[in-house]
Amino acid sequence: MKITFMGAGSTVFAKNVIGDCMCIDSLKDFDFALYDIDAKRVNESKALLDAIREKKGGKGSIAVYVGPEQRKDALRGASFVINAIQVGGYDPSTIIDFEIPKKYGLRQTIGDTLGIGGIMRALRTIPVMEDFAKDMAEVCPDAFFLNYTNPMAMLSGYMQRYTPINTVGLCHSVQVCSKGLLTALGMEDKLEGRKELIAGINHMGWLLEIRDKNGVDLYPAIKAKINELFADPNYKSGDMVRYDYVRNFGYYCTESSEHNAEYNPFYIKRNYPELIEKFNIPLDEYPRRCVNLIKKWQTQYEELTGENAPEHTLSGEYAAHIIAAIVENKPYKIGGNVLNKGHLISNLPEEACVEVPCLLDGYGIHPCHVGALPVQCAAMNMTNINVQLLTIEAAVTKKREHIYQAAMLDPHTGSELDIDTIKKMVDDLIEAHGNYLPKYN
């Protein structure tokens, strides 16, 4: 069997996901196809994975494919396709996504999921994924497409609605959500045997229930601890936005506070600059991370491939476990991003891409019905879903008006800028991205 990794120049992530496969007996002899448009980076990934395969005793091949002309061969005969691409990269696209809005007074933290940055990233990426889907329909029509690329809900939702490819979106935040919360609040003694229910949308999935091994509801203690922290005027942490969600909406959510600071109109506001310090919000965080990662990459690569390179152990990513569950026909549970078909979440629209518990076995991925979210949680999700659906509509129809509407209805953008300014900013972004975007009429 064959696993194809799209965007395999993301060496550390490719190492984690493919390296995980090599740790599992049923997968280690698979053939692995590494695809990227950057020959240097994808060959670095191959060298690292070759070393892991040798240590793990795998007998499968690892082949490299570079550029669109080799893409179909990379996909041919694959049973699983893992997607981790970034169209436009840090330079120029991320720089454009942050610097042009900044000229209009619109600040961002991450810009990869929602907001004007998330909208533009989706519009750059959907045409590339459309090409992937066309190739897959021809050379591996039955493959499972495991999407890790952001903006998760927009890209997965597009694939699920407009292509025949069997797609699930996967995020890192679901599986670490409750552990991170309990650990940060000094409740580590409640980790073992805990039970939880998470549902909503990507990066805003709600921790709806969390109970200890005896079935005791942990939310009263969680809320009391958070209220105690906020009672201290000198309190600072990196998770104050999510804690504030608990105080005002009643529930904790899956993705980090630096992400969630820009998914709503509450925290990043020009007229209230004191909120940035109060909630410890790291503006321009994603560009800063990119610069630091680029600076240290060569040293990091040498550490990963040198004589003292650490042994690869299972990373905690979902992908290898999903593949193993399907291959071995063994039940496994994940939090997956799937179309809300049949109203898995009853108070969100069917065309939305939602994040819900999913069961896996030899027949594939089976999303679970959750029912209605608390009204306030569904309302928060809808402010994001509106933007997601309009961005997908723009990508499908190639109508610029839908890009305007997506930006106008984005909670953060709409709270900061007037409509005419939003349209001007969108026009500037489209022009700056040039050939990375299709033509919009």
* Nearest-angstrom CA–CA distance, 178 and 242: 12
Residue 205 phi, psi (nearest 5): -85, 140
Q: Which of 172, 259, 321, 402 is catalytic?
A: 172
Please state, in angstroms and rounded to a whole number, the distance separating the CA atoms of residues 166 and 361. Answer: 15
Widest Cα–Cα separation across the chain: 61
Would you state the structure tokens that stand for residue 230, as one six-digit string?
Answer: 């906020």
If we measure between CA atoms, which residue out of 50, 18, 24, 4 comes closest to residue 327? 24
Residue 172 annotated as catalytic: yes
Q: Can you tell me the distance from the alpha carbon of 243 to that of 203, in angstroms, rounded to the nearest whole number?
A: 15
Kindly tell me the burial class for residue 276, based on how many C-beta atoms sit within 10 Å of its own C-beta (0-12, 13-18, 19 or more).
Answer: middle
Q: Is 214 exposed, middle or buried (0-12, 13-18, 19+ CB in 10 A)?
A: exposed
**CA-CA distance, 202 to 320, in Å (whole number)?**
20
Number of H helices, E strands in the chain: 17, 11
Report CA 418 to chain centroid distance, whole Å: 29
Residue 79 CB neighbour total at 10 angstroms? 17
CA 170 to chain centre: 7
Are the C-beta atoms of 166 and 144 separated by less than 8 Å?
A: yes
137: CB partners within 8 A, 6+ apart:
163, 164, 165
CA Rg value for the chain: 22
Conformation bin of residue 88: beta by default, left when phi > 0, alpha when psi is -120 to 50: left
3-state secondary structure 48-83: HHHHHHHHHCCCCCEEEEECHHHHHHHHCCCCEEEE
417 DSSP 8-state letter: S
Q: Which residue has the tokens 């009204």?
A: 375
Amino acid letter, 223? K
Residue matched to tokens 């240097």: 40
Say if CB 187 and CB 123 are below 8 A apart.
Answer: no
Residues designated catalytic: 172
